[in-house]
Structure 1
């Protein structure tokens, strides 16, 4: 379970204060894969970072009684002066995993060749994504946080990512941010609507998408 207790988070942009969530108490249950839906700029990615523990709330606390991944697609946590292998070893120690087993898995999965033992600062964005996805799939989490990315690389690598990801979802849940309604329908059965600093849970992803579309249409008319 992931529980937000009276959580508030805001940021300033062009001199104005924008609220991601305001005094929100909310539970994301186990057993449901949910799409996090909201307009551009609502703060969906920021909310994922809060849940992951990468960002801190202004007030309140986030209680996690299950293991939660970092946001897939977020490779900013890698230390650029360390090699891919060294970063994987660090992650293994942080999460209490078998270091050699995780290094072996990621090296095979990411297909970085000799670059695996070169500094991450020399990687292209695609190589960082491969490394991040490989590390994420190498650790079994109760919840996977997905920020727009479910597969990276060329066609064959994307097929491998998709296959492994679907295998993980047999035992795990996801919280997914995506601008693609089709992707949300493919992976999610429920939805959470982020609107004006509030979170609303919908058991059916279709209902969440319909209400979001209605809200966007209303904003357009205004």
Structure 2
């Protein structure tokens, strides 16, 4: 289970303080898939970072009783001077995962070949995203964070991603942030709308979209 209790997040700006999240309460059970809707700048990515632990709330509490991934295909944490495999080794060490078990999967899944032995700073954005997604799948989590987009690479690679995430890990919890109504409706059992820092729950995905479109 992951539970957010009265979570607030404020940032200091030139005009003072900006409240991004205001008394947010949210509970995700094992195997549950939820969607979060909101306009650009509503705080969706901030909420994902708080759930993942890369940022701390200004106030309130986040209780994690499940292991949580970083946002899928996020490559911002890579060390550019290290090779792709060295970055994999580092991530495995941080999360207590087996590098020997993860390496063959990442090599096959990414299709990057010898580039995995080159510094990541030489990669294109697409190559970095492929590596990031593969590492996310190589390390098993109870809950996956999906921020906006997981459309990585060409159509064949996107199908591989879909199978790995939504079919092979159908029993995992997921928190999905997306503007794509098809994706939320297909993969989520319920949805929330984030507006003006307030997270509002709805009984079903269609009701959440009806409210979102009215904003």
> How does the TM-score come out when normalised to structure 1?
0.90
Where do 4+ consecutive residues of structure 1 move more than 4 Å?
none
Question: Which 5+ residue runs of structure 1 have no aligned equivalent?
Answer: 217-222
Aligned runs of 1:92-103 on 2, under 5 Å?
92-103=92-103
Asked whether 1:68 is paired with 2:68, we answer: yes
CA contact (8 A) 2:10 2:20 kept: yes
**Cα gap change, 1:18/1:168 in structure 2, threshold over 3 Å: closer, same or farther?**
farther
Count residues in correspondence. Answer: 215
Comparing both chains, which one has the higher relative contact order based on Cα–Cα distances under 8 Å and sequence gaps of 6 or more?
Answer: 2
Please name the residue that 2:4 is paired with: 4
- Listed one character per residue, the Cα deviations across residues 91-121 of structure 1 (whole Å, up to 9, x for unaligned) are 1111111111111211111111111011111
CA contact (8 A) 2:85 2:117 kept: yes
SS at match of 1:136: helix
Asked whether 1:56 is paired with 2:56, we answer: yes
Moved more, 142-151 or 121-130: 142-151
Aligned runs of 1:18-37 on 2, under 5 Å?
18-37=18-37
Please name the residue that 1:186 is paired with: 186
Please name the residue that 1:220 is paired with: none
Alpha-carbon distance in structure 2 between the residues aligned to 1:114 and 1:167: 29
Please name the residue that 2:207 is paired with: 207
CA contact (8 A) 2:31 2:171 kept: no
